[in-house]
Chains A and B, each alone.
Chain A
Amino acid sequence: MSDDLSLLTRAAKGESAAVLALYDRHASALLALAIRVLGNRDEAEEVLQDSFVKIWQEAASYDANRAGFRAWACTIVRNRSLDVLRRRGTAARTAAVSAETPESAPSPDASATETESAKRVRAAIAELPEAQRKALELAYYEGLTHVEIAAKTSAPLGTVKTRILDGMRKLKAALGDLR
Chain B
Amino acid sequence: MSEHARLRELLPLYVLGALEGSDECDVVCAHLATGCPECAVELAEHARVAAAMPEVLAPIAPRATVRAALEKKLADAPKVVAMHTPAIRRAETRLSWVWVALPTAAAAAAIIAAVNLNEQLRWEKNRHWEDAKEITDLSVEMAALQKEIAKNDALANALATGDAQVIALGPAAAGQTGTGHVIWNKKDRTWTLLASGMKPLDKDQVYELWFIKNGADPRSAIRFEPDAKGVVRQTIAVPADMPQIDLAAVTLEPKKNDDPKPSSTLVIAGKTTG
Chain A residues in contact with chain B, CB under 8 A? Answer: 14, 16, 19-20, 23-24, 27-29, 31-33, 35-36, 45, 48-50, 52-53, 56-58, 60-61, 63, 66-67, 70-72, 74-76, 78-79, 82, 100, 102-104, 106-107, 110, 115, 117-118, 121-122, 125, 136-137, 139-140, 143-147, 149, 161, 164-165, 168-169, 171-172, 175-176, 178-179
Do most interface residues of chain B lie in helix, strand or loop, or is the interface mixed? helix
Residues of chain B within 8 A (CB-CB) of A56 are: 74, 77, 79
Residues of chain B within 8 A (CB-CB) of A144 are: 18
Partner of A32 from the list B13, B18, B51, B58 (CB cut-off 8 Å) is: B58
B75 touches A176 (CB 8 A): no
What is the CA–CA distance of A71 and B132 in the complex, to the nearest angstrom?
13
Partner of B48 from the list A35, A66, A118 (CB cut-off 8 Å) is: A66
Known pairs A20-B74, A33-B57, A145-B22; A165 contacts B13 (CB<8 A): yes
B58 touches A110 (CB 8 A): yes
Partner of A72 from the list B12, B51, B53, B69 (CB cut-off 8 Å) is: B51
A104 touches B12 (CB 8 A): no
Partner of B60 from the list A14, A102, A136, A140 (CB cut-off 8 Å) is: A102
B47 touches A75 (CB 8 A): yes
Query: Does B31 have its Cβ within 8 Å of any Cβ on chain A?
Result: no
B266 smallest CB distance to A (angstroms)? 42
B54 touches A32 (CB 8 A): yes
B62 touches A45 (CB 8 A): yes
Additional pairs, 9, CB under 8 Å, beyond known A48-B70, A161-B13: A20-B70, A23-B67, A31-B61, A32-B59, A48-B66, A67-B47, A121-B52, A136-B53, A165-B12
Known pairs A57-B79, A61-B82; A125 contacts B56 (CB<8 A): yes
A168 touches B16 (CB 8 A): yes
Residues of chain B within 8 A (CB-CB) of A172 are: 12, 45-46, 49
Known pairs A23-B67, A31-B61, A57-B79; A67 contacts B51 (CB<8 A): yes
Question: Counting chain A CB atoms within 10 Å of each CB, which of B12, B55, B74 scores highest?
Answer: B55
A71 touches B60 (CB 8 A): no
What is the CA–CA distance of A33 and B63 in the complex, to the nearest angstrom?
15
Residues of chain B within 8 A (CB-CB) of A67 are: 44, 47-48, 51, 129
